[in-house]
Amino acid sequence: MPVEPQVFDLLVYMIENRDRVVTKDDLIQSIWKGRIVSESAVATRINAVRKAVGDSGDGQRLIRTLPRKGFRFVGEVTCQPSTSTAAAAPALMLPDKPSIAVLSFTNMTGDADSDYFGDGIAEDVITSLSRNPFLFVIARNSSFTYKGRAIAVKQIGRELGVGYVLEGSVRRSGSRVRITAQLIDATAGGHVWAERYDRELTDIFAVQDEITETVAIAIAPAIAHLERHQALRKAPENLSAWEAYQRGRWHIGRMTVADFEQAKTFFQRAIALDPALAPAHAGLANAILTEVVLFQTRSVAEALAEALPVIHAAIAADPKHAGGHINNGIALIMQGQCELAVAEARHALSIDPNHAGAYFMLGNALCFSGRPREALEAIGSGMRHDPYAPQGYFPRSQVVMAYYFLREYENAVEAARAALRSYPGHPWVNIWLAAALGQLDRLDEAREALKNAMALKTFDQSARRRPPYTRPEDHEHKLEGLRKAGWEG
């Protein structure tokens, strides 16, 4: 007779453990994988099992309830070998980039008519993640075959050939809904990320859209963070192209001259291993441009001459990868073509609406285009998409600069202090901090910040001459604050 997969799994579990009483906790751990389950949901499934084998709660001929203890299968069971030997499905090889299967979110309400809500969230998350070129995402038809089945995540990973599995649950009570989601490393079995959301169901589709976006935004950074740290544990000569790329990304986040040199080496190795890997080309271009901005290792013209061919290679390798367009926007900003950079940032976001780097570049271009309020909105979106971005020093300095241009000097000082706590060696923030403190007449603090700023190579580029990407009026505004801080230039 037809039964739901979860009911069948419950029956099998009770038969296999018929030599003992199985507790509610045993059932929840084995069938529901430890998720929170109500007493009524367990009772509903037990009754369904009894019905399937011709038993009832009154008769308890096969499944007996022991009050305050649990349940036990007491029917006579005869075991016999299978007449055929079914070979286990071979494990699929993992793709050459992070791969994920999104399972249907389990309906914990007990109302089968509510399944559509969990299915809808999972479907929308699949659609959103599929836009990310860094991820290999299993299609809905394959991942939803596990709906209602108690199967270990490692087995799902082997059968679908994925490194990560996202699973979740939905529970409704009156006008409220609780949604949980957890990302699991299907190879090692550990949790990578987990979150719980409680919402009012005033508009069920609005809630579905909100949760979908929030979950999708959190997944990619969590996977990238784990991938980078896994790459660190391997010897450089054993890295794949993707792992070499991730190793380069890790070095970029350390913000030292030596680390940027290491990053370029790893990006070049990734390109040598896979010339079509667009993220590696984009990473190399980003390292070339960023080290010049941060450390003044050579002239901007020299950096652009080296970076532009790499940017073109990134776009040629994959025009639908946002990274090449983001770095093209950075190059445009460095050449003073900030309005074109705004357009390039918006193009990158049309390709990948969840790319934090595209938001950061957009914020930078808007700020230098005289639109600091819009810049703060763009940077805020980027930080929401990737709060632990490996190059977090850039957006934090942009926030300080935007507040300064808005003449919100107290906010600029607060943002600068926060940036320096995270990145004490930041080469730009002290300049804006000194200028903001000067505008506030906090002269002792301003002089200390100015002293720190003038010790950096970037001070000459930023103060003694106007960078091509800074508007004349914005540059004069900055110099005004620095002079009030005590600078005699």
Under a CB-based contact definition with an 8 Å cutoff, are residues 420 and 412 in contact?
no
- Pairing between strand 176-185 and 191-200? antiparallel
Residues 6+ apart with CB under 8 A from 21: 66, 69, 70, 71, 72
| Pairwise CA distance, residues 296 & 285, whole Å | 16
Kindly list the structural domains of the chain, giving each domain's residue range(s) and its CATH number in brackets, ordered by start.
5-73 (1.10.10.10), 99-232 (3.40.50.10610), 239-318 (1.25.40.10)
Side chain identity, residue 231: A
Read off the pLDDT of each residue in 101-120 and give the average, rounded to a whole number.
79
Q: pTM above the 0.75 mark? A: no
Lowest mean pLDDT among 35-39, 126-130, 148-152, 264-268: 35-39
CA dist 22 and 130 (Å) reads 41
User: Do the Cβ atoms of 136 and 99 come closer than 8 Å?
Assistant: yes
Q: What is the 3-state secondary structure of the chain?
A: CCCCHHHHHHHHHHHHCCCCCECHHHHHHHHCCCCCCCHHHHHHHHHHHHHHCCCCCCCCCCEEEECCCEEEECCCCCCCCCCCCCCCCCCCCCCCCCEEEECCCEECCCCHHHHHHHHHHHHHHHHHHHCCCCCEECCHHHHHHHCCCCCCHHHHHHHHCCCEEEEEEEEEECCEEEEEEEEEECCCCCEEEEEEEEEECCCHHHHHHHHHHHHHHHHHHHHHHHHHHHHHCCCHHHCCHHHHHHHHHHHHCCCCHHHHHHHHHHHHHHHHHCCCCHHHHHHHHHHHHHHHHHHCCCCHHHHHHHHHHHHHHHHHHCCCCHHHHHHHHHHHHHCCCHHHHHHHHHHHHHHCCCCHHHHHHHHHHHHHCCCHHHHHHHHHHHHHHCCCCCCCHHHHHHHHHHHHHCCCHHHHHHHHHHHHHHCCCCCCHHHHHHHHHHHCCCHHHHHHHHHHHHCCCHHHHHHHCCCCCCCHHHHHHHHHHHHHCCCCC
Alpha carbons 208 and 489: distance in angstroms, whole number = 57
**Segment 440-466 mean pLDDT:** 88
Q: What is the pLDDT of residue 140?
A: 83
Per-residue pLDDT of 51-88, as tens digits, reads 888 898 888 889 999 888 889 999 888 876 554 444 44
Among 36-45, 52-61, 163-172, 300-309, where is mean pLDDT lowest? 36-45
Q: Higher pLDDT residue, 168 or 228? A: 168
Give the model confidence (pLDDT) of 348-390 as tens digits.
Answer: 999 888 788 999 999 999 999 999 999 999 999 888 777 666 6
CA 169 to CA 33: how far, in whole Å? 11
Q: Which residue did the predictor score with more confidence, 369 or 229?
A: 369
Distance CA 120, CA 126 (A): 10
Only one residue has tokens 């000097």, namely 409
Distances (CA, A) of 279 to 35, 244, 321: 38, 11, 8
Query: What is the identity of the amino acid at 236?
Result: P
- What is the rounded average pLDDT of the residues 113-130? 80
User: Does 415 score more than 90 pLDDT?
Assistant: yes
Q: Are strands 176-185 and 136-137 parallel, antiparallel or unpaired?
A: unpaired
Q: Output the average pLDDT for the chain.
A: 86
CA angle 285, 283, 327 (to 5 degrees): 50
Length of the chain equals 489
Dist. CA 432–CA 429, nearest whole Å: 5
What pLDDT score was predicted for residue 388? 63
Cα torsion through 143, 145, 147, 153, rounded to 10: -60
What average pLDDT does this structure show over 401-417? 97
Higher pLDDT, 471 or 233: 471
Share of the chain above pLDDT 70, in %: 94
Read off the pLDDT of residues 85-101 as tens digits, 9 standing for 90 and up.
444 455 677 877 788 99
Comparing CA positions, the residue from 320, 103, 358 lying closest to residue 215 is: 103
